[in-house]
């Protein structure tokens, strides 16, 4: 890693200082180890979306132990993927990951593709995930931009306190301008900037005294102004349709066959909200009806008979 930093970028550049800091302070996360496969990195990137690292690590390890390759996952049912996903949240990711594995087997012989356009064409793989896999699995030069990266770039370069809720094309351009030309060094810098935003340049409690670019940070120089708009509050969970969906899925995950409607009725007292949540699970491709009175996880058994 020192050779990459020394040969491809100066230690006084933004990327050089952040990469040197990363070399010394990066968290020891299992998907960052050199022996990890591109498939394992892809799985980690999908799991890490909107889920804390501490919850992802054991789930990632269990997932890769069971399905170490795309072909292994594609050979199982989507219902098993949903069961294995457990309570990581946003379970559509499990179904999309199963669809992604199937596409990798069908289109690429079971190997995660290394070309950005092929990664972008996979089910459930968007702008961020495709670039993350290309950079972190294959050492390519692409701007890998998530919330943490946008925050670092917005503060350090533009002097603004908040980058906004969504990634824009301009964010990709701004991040790419900070990357060194050499692909391996650029991939390292992408990981380093992301780590800096995750553990130092955080949204609520930035630790500027620990930041390797504090001396040139435009936001720090301007007195660390607060965001102009209202502070975004964490989404409420209790009593929401998300909670009801989770309870319904919990029953269906534990079942070994179709679950009668009467059993699902016991999950939540509000008939209207429960019916809405169940209908949403069906629409999202997580659950399917069996006949007129039962439900099961998608693909959990032979195709349901068609009435007629």
Q: First and final CA of the chain: distance in angstroms?
A: 65
Q: What angle do CA 75, 77, 80 make, to 5 degrees?
A: 115
Write down the catalytic residue from 45, 99, 195, 214. 45
Alpha-helical segments (H) within the chain: 2-8, 14-25, 38-47, 53-66, 70-74, 78-85, 92-108, 116-120, 127-136, 147-153, 169-177, 183-199, 218-221, 241-254, 261-265, 271-283
Q: 272 — phi, psi (to 5°)?
A: -65, -45
In which residue are the tokens 């996360």 written? 29
Residue 11 annotated in active site: no
In which residue are the tokens 């701004």 written? 174
Euclidean distance between CA atoms 167 and 147, whole angstroms: 8
Nearest to 22 by CA among 195, 199, 200: 195
Euclidean distance between CA atoms 237 and 131, whole angstroms: 31
Per DSSP, 238 falls in state T
- In sequence order, the β-bridge partners of residue 260 are 294
The set of catalytic residues is 45
């Amino acid at each position: 890693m020192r050779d990459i930093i020394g040969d491809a970028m100066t230690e006084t550049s933004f990327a050089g200082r952040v990469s040197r800091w990363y070399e010394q302070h990066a968290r020891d996360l299992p998907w960052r180890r050199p022996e990890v496969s591109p498939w394992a990195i892809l799985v980690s990137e999908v799991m890490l979306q909107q889920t804390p690292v501490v919850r992802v690590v054991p789930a990632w390890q269990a997932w890769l132990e069971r399905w170490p390759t795309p072909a292994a996952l594609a050979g199982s049912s989507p219902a098993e993927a949903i069961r294995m996903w457990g309570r990581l949240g946003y379970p559509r990711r499990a179904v999309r990951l199963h669809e992604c594995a199937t596409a990798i087997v069908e289109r690429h012989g079971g190997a995660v593709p290394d070309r950005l356009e092929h990664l972008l064409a996979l089910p459930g793989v968007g702008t961020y995930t495709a670039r993350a896999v290309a950079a972190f699995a294959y050492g390519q030069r692409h701007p890998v931009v998530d919330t943490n990266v946008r925050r670092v770039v917005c503060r350090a370069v533009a002097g603004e306190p908040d980058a906004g809720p969504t990634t824009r094309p301009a964010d990709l351009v701004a991040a790419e301008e900070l990357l060194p030309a050499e692909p391996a060094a650029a991939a390292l810098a992408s990981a380093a900037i992301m780590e800096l935003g995750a553990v130092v340049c955080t949204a609520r409690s930035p630790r500027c005294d620990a930041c390797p670019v504090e001396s040139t940070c435009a936001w720090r120089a301007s007195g660390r102004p607060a965001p102009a708009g209202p502070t975004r509050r964490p989404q409420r969970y209790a009593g929401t349709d998300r909670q009801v969906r989770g309870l319904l899925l919990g029953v269906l995950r534990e079942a070994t066959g179709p679950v009668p409607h009467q059993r699902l009725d016991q999950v939540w007292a509000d008939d209207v909200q429960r019916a809405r949540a169940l209908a949403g699970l069906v629409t999202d491709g997580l659950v399917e009806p069996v006949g007129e009175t039962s439900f099961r996880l998608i693909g959990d058994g032979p195709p349901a008979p068609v009435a007629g």
